[in-house]
């Protein structure tokens, strides 16, 4: 080995160890256990899909924390544990983005931990429509819900009507928004204007996770359009990984496409059984096809989504009115 080769080899080794070190430190700062640091003091937690958990966002204020979504009880326990790795501040507010069990049934755990659960006021109306039936159904399949020994879902302790509802101190501003009926009649968003982060609940999902039973499918793209007027760069969805503005763009395109495709089938006089194939009383296949651009949102529930869209269009009223009444 001549001297210049040895010098170059040593230089290369130093360079490689520097790269490895910087990758490791980058990883360490971005990920604390299950929490991914999106911006200083803002963490995103991807929910466990096999347990039905939603995603959570944890936001640090000067003296306390704000958590977006209560999750199921088992999810709430995990979030409460995970938070200990990043902050010793108490959780003061938990924002329920809507009434669904995977976003709200953990409310009793957060209250017991000293937090105030909070939602847009229409979430109470959705709870009145769908409970206690939803709670009973969940109790029959989920030990974490049954173990609480309650008769029904615990509503948010506080609701607000004026939007945006602002949580603010010297270090940060959080705006809670409502843009209309999309996934449910209570779809709340959390917006961090300084960090340009939008937390969307289930009005915007990143993947084939859209449940349309309680939705206003035709109005859903309009709600996303209003949300898009906010100046954000990062999107933290209710389900699926974090990303950027391509998530609301894609979700909106998916909603428009499914509505247009089913509308045109209906206007050609097609019946539900002409476009959705049933197996054991459940939708198992569909002839409706959407463009390659929105395939991220097309999955196993697509035939059911087509069915709900068809029912909304053929009955001329939002699907949530069909399932939940006025």
Which stretches of the chain bind Zn ion, using CB under 5 A? 100, 202
The CB-of-42 to Zn ion minimum distance in angstroms stands at 22
Shorter beta-carbon distance to Zn ion: residue 35 or 182: 182
Least distance from Zn ion to the Cβ atom of residue 193, Å = 25
Instruction: With beta carbons less than 8 A apart as the criterion, state whether 65 and 59 touch.
Output: yes
DSSP lists the bridge partners of residue 65 as: 60, 91
Nearer to Zn ion, 44 or 172 (CB): 44
Closest approach, Cβ 74 to Zn ion, in A, equals 17
Residue 56 and residue 103: Cα distance in Å, rounded? 9
Q: Residue 220 Cβ, how far from Zn ion at the closest point, in Å?
A: 12
Contact 89, 136 (CB under 8 A): no
Helix segments in the chain, DSSP class H: 3-30, 73-83, 101-104, 107-112, 122-130, 133-141, 143-146, 220-227, 246-267, 272-275, 302-315, 319-324
Closer to Zn ion by CB, 100 or 142: give it: 100
φ, ψ dihedrals at 84, nearest 5°: -60, -25
> For Zn ion, which is the closer residue by CB, 60 or 202?
202
**Nearest distance, CB of residue 104 and Zn ion, angstroms:** 9
Of 99 and 259, the one with the shorter C-beta distance to Zn ion is 99
Measuring CA to CA, which residue among 204, 245, 198 is closest to residue 223? 204
For residues 189 and 97, what is the distance between their CA atoms, to the nearest angstrom? Answer: 7
């Amino acid at each position: 080995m001549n001297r210049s080769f040895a010098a170059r080899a040593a230089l290369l080794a130093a360079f490689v160890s520097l790269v490895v070190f910087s990758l490791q430190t980058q990883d360490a700062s971005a990920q604390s256990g299950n929490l991914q640091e999106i911006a200083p003091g803002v963490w995103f937690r991807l929910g466990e899909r096999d347990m039905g958990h939603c995603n959570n966002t944890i936001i640090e204020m000067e003296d306390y924390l704000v958590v977006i979504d209560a999750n199921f009880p088992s999810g709430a326990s995990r979030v409460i544990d995970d938070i200990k790795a990043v902050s010793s501040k108490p959780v003061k507010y938990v924002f329920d983005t809507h009434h669904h069990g995977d976003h709200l049934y953990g409310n009793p755990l957060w209250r017991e931990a000293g937090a105030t659960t909070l939602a847009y006021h229409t979430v109470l109306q959705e709870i009145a429509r769908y409970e206690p039936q939803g709670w009973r159904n969940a109790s029959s399949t989920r030990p974490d819900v049954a173990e609480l020994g309650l008769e029904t879902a615990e509503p948010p302790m506080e609701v607000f009507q004026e939007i945006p509802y602002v949580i603010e101190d010297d270090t940060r501003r959080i705006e809670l928004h409502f843009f209309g009926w999309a996934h449910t009649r209570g779809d709340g968003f959390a917006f961090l204007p300084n960090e340009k982060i939008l937390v969307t609940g289930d009005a915007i999902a990143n993947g084939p996770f859209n449940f349309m039973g309680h939705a206003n499918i035709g109005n859903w793209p309009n709600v996303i359009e209003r949300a898009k007027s906010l100046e954000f760069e990062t999107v933290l969805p209710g389900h699926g990984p974090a990303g950027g503005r391509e998530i609301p763009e894609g979700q909106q395109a998916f909603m428009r496409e499914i509505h247009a495709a089913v509308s045109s089938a209906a206007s050609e006089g097609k019946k539900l059984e002409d476009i959705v194939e049933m197996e054991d009383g459940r939708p198992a296949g569909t002839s409706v096809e959407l463009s390659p651009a929105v395939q991220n949102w097309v999955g196993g529930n697509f035939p059911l989504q087509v069915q709900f869209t068809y029912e909304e269009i053929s009955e001329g009223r939002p699907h949530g009115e069909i399932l939940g009444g006025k």
